[in-house]
Amino acid sequence: MANDTLLIKHTGTGKQAEYPLLTGTLGAETADIRSLYKDLDCFTYDPGFMATASCKSKITYIDGDKGVLLYRGYPIEQLAESCEFTEVAYLLMNGELPSEAQLLDFNLEISDRAIIHESLRKFFDGFHYDAHPMAMLVGVVGSLSAFYHSELNIKDPDQRMRSATRMIGKMPTIAAASFRHSVGRPFVYPRMDLSYCENFLNMMFSRSSQNYIDQDHYIDPDLVKALNLLFILHADHEQNASTSTVRLAGSTGANPYACVAAGIAALWGPAHGGANEAVLNMLAEIGSVENVPKYIAKAKDHNDPFRLMGFGHRVYKNFDPRATIIRKTCHEVLSKTHKNDALFELALAVEQAALKDDYFIEKKLYPNVDFYSGIIYKALNIPVDMFTVMFAIARTAGWVSHWLEMMEDPSTPIGRPRQLYVGPPRRDFLPLGNR
């Protein structure tokens, strides 16, 4: 209802205050409690932001109970069916789908910005050959701020858009360079004649350092299609941990490349973007279909740290719509490549066992997008430790869109949560000899 409020009463002091309930286009009403401390002298305690909206946003909407995901109002299923990744990135950044001419210009600009400075390329030489590609990604993307800082005016909307597009353009180049460095192969320069996904695959796998897409090493369009789909599904997911990190860093006015590097660091963990890598490691640990019941029992045992990776989601509590789309593609890619058959059989056995199990049913733990994405990446010959990097390439579209959105709003305050202090009360310092 339009003028509904939330009434909060402090039973100790008897003081009470009323807070407006804000209504968005979709989703739950949201109590505006910014004056709570002033009114009632208390904070709210919400670790993990279970019930806290940190911002207003027009970019992505999720209904976790109904399994709905919309980018700028468009259902993910429709975008996944018909779009190329850069079209979706344009939509996320600009709010509207591009016309043909706009998409052409955007693609040209992205290709044009894909090249990285030769000095930045040399940064890779400083990393040990076995450095995790995410470590290289976070370091090198952060270093972009050293190349684009003093001349960058983040108050200028055109410059902000240029930084965002530059980030999308350079991310596959930096990602592929991390991989090439880890396998000791020469860096492959980006090509303007290839699409976003083709170009990335070429930079990853070209043997000659120039032409992967030639008669000998033709890139299968179905595999390019699968990669494009994965990038679309991972492009944004509203205020997830990494996006919130980008926003928090951005709220201080920091350099946008440094903000994206912060997002990459947050993405790395196995509870977030590292989940697809963790799924493959988990399947390797399970080993074979006969072991599935043993591992399902381990996942249910609270005294055992083992969790079923790729299951559960903070927001989706019935099904993850991305998982529904990707599951089909997973079958298609694997039947085409005839790769990882045993792996896929094992993954299906885990999936079926968990879906039938009361523990997983009661706790509403369903396979999420990353349960399947790792299997597809494996079929595309992407090494396991590159999986989170793949996620980062796609999520860059979301990160920069959220950064653009928050920078457009001059009222965005610096992100600064409060805390419930549970440390020692005030006490007096004792000099070394008296402790």
Does position 309 interact with ligand CMC (CB under 6 A)? The reply is: yes
217 vs 307, which CB is nearer to ligand CMC? 307
219 vs 266, which CB is nearer to ligand CMC? 266
Residue whose structure tokens are 């009403």: 29
Chain residue at closest Cβ approach to ligand CMC: 312
First vs last Cα of the chain: how many Å apart? 61
Contact predicate 47/56, CB 8 Å: no
- Euclidean distance between CA atoms 414 and 252, whole angstroms: 6
- Give residues 369-388 in contact with ligand CMC (rule: CB under 6 A): 369-370
Following DSSP, what letter does each residue of 202-216 receive, concatenated?
Answer: HHHH-SSSS-SSSSS
Does position 307 interact with ligand CMC (CB under 6 A)? The reply is: yes
Does position 390 interact with ligand CMC (CB under 6 A)? The reply is: no
* Binding flags for ligand CMC, 324-363, as an x/- string (CB under 6 A): ---------------------------------------x
Q: How far is the CB of 134 from ligand CMC (least distance, A)?
A: 14
Does position 313 interact with ligand CMC (CB under 6 A)? The reply is: yes
Contact predicate 374/384, CB 8 Å: yes
Q: Which two tokens stand for residue 60?
A: 């992505």
User: Segment near ligand CMC (CB under 6 A), from 122-130, 173-181, 309-317, 342-350?
Assistant: 309-317
List, in order, residues 6 or more apart from 243 with CB less than 8 Å away: 236, 237, 263, 395, 398, 399, 402
Does position 271 interact with ligand CMC (CB under 6 A)? The reply is: yes
Among 67, 139, 310, 374, binds ligand CMC (CB under 6 A): 310
User: Segment near ligand CMC (CB under 6 A), from 9-17, 119-127, 306-314, 423-431?
Assistant: 306-314
- Euclidean distance between CA atoms 322 and 180, whole angstroms: 30
Tell me which amino acid residue 394 is: A
213 vs 354, which CB is nearer to ligand CMC? 354
- Give residues 183-242 in contact with ligand CMC (rule: CB under 6 A): 237, 240
Annotated catalytic residue 313: yes
Q: How far is CA 257 from CA 111, 139, 142, in A?
A: 18, 11, 6
110 vs 280, which CB is nearer to ligand CMC? 280
Look at residue 30 and give its three-state secondary structure.
strand
Look at residue 71 and give its three-state secondary structure.
strand
Instruction: With both helix axes pointing from N to C terminus, report the angle between 387-408 and 275-286 in degrees, rounded to the nearest 10.
Output: 160
User: Segment near ligand CMC (CB under 6 A), from 78-86, 365-373, 374-382, 409-417?
Assistant: 365-373
Contact predicate 170/144, CB 8 Å: yes
Annotated catalytic residue 193: no
- Euclidean distance between CA atoms 283 and 346, whole angstroms: 7
Does position 262 interact with ligand CMC (CB under 6 A)? The reply is: no
Contact positions vs ligand CMC (CB under 6 A): 237, 240, 271-273, 275, 299, 307-314, 363, 365, 368-370
Active site members = 313, 370
